Amino acid sequence: MVTSSTAGQVDSSGKVTASLAGMQVTFDGVPAPIMYATANRINAVVPSGVTPGVTTTMRVLKNTTQVGSLGVGVYATAPALATSDSSGNCPC
């Protein structure tokens, strides 16, 4: 159990790990990178392989034992950079 705030960890290849303090989050069985965790919150990134437009099952595991489960809707996103002139280009 996470007893205080814990930042995510990076593995030797530079990727954020999908396990933190014995906790893991999965979406339809696919492990999700964990960015941050406290005793009452886990911030995880939905894996890119999850299909938009469907409901996925999110599970929380502690030491490989499921401690929570929830069906969540998945929606497409359009990632972008916010810039002062709304162009998406750096005004450098």
Residue 40 pLDDT exceeds 60: yes
Instruction: Report the mean per-residue pLDDT for the chain.
Output: 83
CA distance 18 to 69: 17
Report the share of the chain in percent with pLDDT over 90. 30
Please give the Cα distance from 4 to 39 (Å, whole number): 6
Tens digits of residue pLDDT in 20-39 = 888 899 999 999 999 888 87
Q: How much is the pLDDT for 36?
A: 85
pLDDT digits (tens, 9 = 90+) for 63-84: 999 999 999 998 888 766 666 6
Residue extents of the structural domains in the chain: 6-73
